[in-house]
């Protein structure tokens, strides 16, 4: 007993010290009681501060970010932009593998890494070292609200960080994971972007009918799933206000891709009842098989659309426009392309009459679009409510002034690589304005997290550091 007392006092003192030195974090508190119409006397009064100056949406939320590559980092970057304090835990000496992948500046973190890890802090911890686990435990118990990870299936458990262990340590902790597949025959598989695009139904429905399946350039498997996971985390945080407990959040990449390809599962069910009349293959008289076919550039909605050449297409691979022959705009289309007689011609006047001739109709429209630049087509058509879209190259997007103005494309400065362009937060909140801050260097915040966040004393920090838990193994040890 006599021994326990000073120990307790010591712990209490350390706790107060940690509290004092920790960053000022406003903790998530629940409104006490809501009545039937959702109003509560305990809800805070509307802030009188100007919009954008009353903290951020996720101020007070701290994330233990155990993510790597793309899917997980996309999620935690979004949370960081909304104000969460994201502490990225990386393997000593190596870090997130993307730091060194597709490097364009020797010795500097790659664009792959920097563009996915803005607004985060980095600490290096060997999670398989006992002293490393000591730091992880402190992060889990003392300070974090959410652990986010996208390791291969079973890796977190192999570190000893099972759900049961974490939940016992900190019942409020939310554990969020990206995996390739959900529970089932493939749950143990490692998965990358294109595997998910294929398994989620996107590849089989992308491309031209006569050609092989195609993957898309948009990272719907990785970034798409990260986006889904972020919504899951925010929802779990909201539920925790009521329930007081954390929960597991799982997003399988296959599920995320399928969610984005849901119109194709819609068509899979329609195909059993008859041909998909808005697909150009219907107009071409090509019979449908048992599964949804690839539809080229047909529009996914009920309105026929196609990609058409514009002025300069011979030398510019992106001189194209997407053109939609939406029924209400048909009259305007006929006038613009110089075919006013089609407005009343029974062979062209109705959507049904046009379906078998779509290919020829688009060829006629293309004769007109080829006389204009894609931007001229945009101006002329939008003035009369014809929906069209210029095919923008990444060069054009990078130089687009309006995207710079909204912060969707931002220039960021980095100490070792200099200035680079990135995509800012695509989600704009009027009272939680995102500032894009550069990604952290490997282990840049190790000391500040150990002392300011976790409250370790100088001798404890020295003990942890001397154990080798936070640094890369020495070269001789590696070789041995």
Residue of 158, 262, 266, 428 interacting with ligand COA (CB under 6 A): 158
CB 173, CB 246: distance < 8 Å: yes
For position 152 contacting ligand COA by CB under 6 A, the verdict is yes
For position 126 contacting ligand COA by CB under 6 A, the verdict is yes
Give least dist CB 222 to ligand COA, A: 4
Contact pattern for ligand COA over residues 207 through 246, marking x by CB under 6 A: ---------------x------------------------
- Residues near 387 by Cβ (< 8 Å), separated by ≥ 6? 303, 324, 326, 329, 381
For position 199 contacting ligand COA by CB under 6 A, the verdict is no
> What's the CA gap between 139 and 169, in Å, rounded?
11
What sign has the CA pseudo-torsion 450, 24, 244, 176?
A: negative
Contact pattern for ligand COA over residues 177 through 196, marking x by CB under 6 A: -xxx---------xxx----
Tokens 């139904």 belong to which residue?
201
By beta-carbon proximity to ligand COA, the closer residue of 70 and 451 is: 70
Q: Which stretch binds ligand COA (CB under 6 A): 174-182, 319-327, 346-354, 470-478?
A: 174-182
Degrees to nearest 5, angle at CA 15 with 11 and 18: 135
Q: Which stretch binds ligand COA (CB under 6 A): 173-181, 231-239, 305-313, 397-405?
A: 173-181
For position 95 contacting ligand COA by CB under 6 A, the verdict is no
> What's the CA gap between 90 and 102, in Å, rounded?
19
Contact pattern for ligand COA over residues 128 through 147, marking x by CB under 6 A: x-------------------
Q: Which of 277, 299, 267, 275 is nearest to 351 (CA)?
A: 277
> What's the CA gap between 358 and 304, in Å, rounded?
8
Residue of 56, 61, 63, 70 interacting with ligand COA (CB under 6 A): 70
By beta-carbon proximity to ligand COA, the closer residue of 126 and 278 is: 126
What sign has the CA pseudo-torsion 14, 19, 23, 28?
A: positive
Q: Which stretch binds ligand COA (CB under 6 A): 21-29, 34-42, 68-76, 357-365?
A: 68-76
- One of 85, 109, 145, 222 is an active-site residue; which one? 222
Residues contacting ligand COA: total by CB under 6 A: 23
> What's the CA gap between 85 and 437, in Å, rounded?
12
Which residue's beta carbon is nearest to the bound ligand COA?
Answer: 152
Q: Which of 453, 445, 307, 297 is nearest to 388 (CA)?
A: 307
By beta-carbon proximity to ligand COA, the closer residue of 119 and 150 is: 150
Phi then psi for residue 334, to 5 deg, are -60, -40
Does residue 396 sit in helix, strand or coil?
A: helix
Q: Which stretch binds ligand COA (CB under 6 A): 29-37, 63-71, 269-277, 410-418?
A: 63-71
Active site residue 222: yes
> What's the CA gap between 292 and 272, in Å, rounded?
10
By beta-carbon proximity to ligand COA, the closer residue of 127 and 434 is: 127
By beta-carbon proximity to ligand COA, the closer residue of 70 and 439 is: 70
184 to 103, 212, 221, 248: CA distances (angstroms): 37, 28, 19, 18
Give least dist CB 55 to ligand COA, A: 31
- Within 10 angstroms of residue 60's Cβ, the number of other Cβ atoms is 16
Q: Which of 77, 25, 182 is nearest to 425 (CA)?
A: 77
Q: Exposed (0-12), middle (13-18) or buried (19+): which is 107, by Cβ within 10 Å?
A: exposed
For position 63 contacting ligand COA by CB under 6 A, the verdict is no
Residue of 56, 64, 71, 227 interacting with ligand COA (CB under 6 A): 71
Q: Which stretch binds ligand COA (CB under 6 A): 18-26, 64-72, 371-379, 417-425?
A: 64-72
- Residues near 211 by Cβ (< 8 Å), separated by ≥ 6? 294
Degrees to nearest 5, angle at CA 85 with 34 and 420: 130
Token pair in block for residue 151: 């390791």
Q: Bridge partners of 87?
A: 64, 121
Contact pattern for ligand COA over residues 321 through 360, marking x by CB under 6 A: ----------------------------------------
Give least dist CB 424 to ligand COA, A: 21
> What's the CA gap between 225 and 230, in Å, rounded?
9
Give least dist CB 111 to ligand COA, A: 15
By beta-carbon proximity to ligand COA, the closer residue of 126 and 145 is: 126
Q: Which residues are marked as active site? A: 222
> Which residues form the interface with ligand COA (CB under 6 A)?
69-72, 89, 91, 125-128, 150-152, 155, 158-159, 178-180, 190-192, 222
């Amino acid at each position: 007993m006599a021994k326990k007392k000073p120990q307790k006092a010591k712990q209490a003192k350390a706790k107060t010290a940690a509290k004092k030195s920790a960053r000022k974090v406003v903790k998530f508190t629940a409104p006490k009681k809501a009545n039937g119409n959702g109003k509560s006397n305990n809800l805070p009064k509307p802030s009188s501060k100007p919009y954008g100056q009353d903290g951020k949406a996720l101020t007070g939320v701290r994330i233990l970010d155990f993510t790597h590559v793309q899917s997980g980092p996309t999620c935690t970057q979004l949370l960081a932009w909304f104000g969460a304090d994201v502490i990225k835990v990386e393997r000593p000496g190596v870090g997130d593998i993307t730091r060194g992948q597709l490097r364009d500046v020797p010795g500097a973190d790659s664009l792959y890494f920097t563009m996915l890890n803005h607004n985060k802090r980095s600490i290096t911890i060997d999670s398989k070292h006992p002293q490393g686990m000591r730091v992880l435990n402190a992060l889990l118990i003392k300070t974090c609200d959410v652990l986010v990870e996208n390791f291969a299936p079973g890796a977190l458990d192999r570190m000893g960080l099972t759900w049961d262990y974490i939940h016992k340590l900190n019942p409020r902790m939310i554990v969020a994971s990206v995996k390739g597949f959900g529970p089932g025959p493939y749950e143990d598989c490692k998965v990358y972007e294109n595997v998910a695009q294929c398994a989620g139904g996107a590849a089989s429905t992308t491309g031209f009918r006569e050609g092989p399946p195609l993957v898309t350039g948009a990272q719907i498997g990785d970034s798409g799933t990260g986006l889904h996971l972020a919504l899951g985390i925010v929802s779990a945080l909201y539920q925790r206000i009521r329930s007081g407990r954390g929960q597991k959040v799982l997003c399988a990449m296959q599920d995320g891709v399928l969610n984005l390809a849901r119109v194709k599962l819609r068509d899979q069910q329609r195909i059993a009842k008859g041909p998909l009349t808005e697909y150009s293959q219907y107009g071409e008289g090509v019979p449908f098989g048992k599964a949804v076919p690839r539809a080229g550039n047909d529009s996914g909605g009920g309105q026929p659309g196609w990609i058409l050449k514009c002025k300069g297409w011979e030398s510019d691979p992106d001189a194209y426009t997407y053109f939609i022959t939406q029924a209400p705009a048909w009259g305007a289309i006929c006038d613009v392309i110089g075919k006013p007689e089609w407005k009343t011609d029974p062979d062209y006047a109705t959507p049904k009459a046009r379906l078998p001739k779509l290919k020829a109709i688009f060829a006629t429209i293309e004769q007109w679009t080829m006389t204009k630049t894609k931007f001229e087509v945009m101006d002329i058509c939008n003035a009369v409510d014809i929906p069209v879209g210029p095919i923008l190259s990444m060069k054009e997007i990078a130089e687009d002034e309006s995207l710079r103005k909204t912060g969707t494309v931002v220039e960021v400065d980095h100490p070792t690589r200099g200035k680079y362009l990135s995509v800012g937060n695509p989600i704009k909140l009027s009272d939680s304005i995102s500032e894009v801050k550069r990604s952290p260097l490997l282990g840049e915040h190790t000391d500040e997290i150990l002392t300011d966040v976790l409250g370790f004393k100088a001798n404890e920090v020295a003990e942890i550091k001397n154990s080798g838990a936070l640094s890369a193994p020495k070269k001789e040890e590696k070789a041995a």
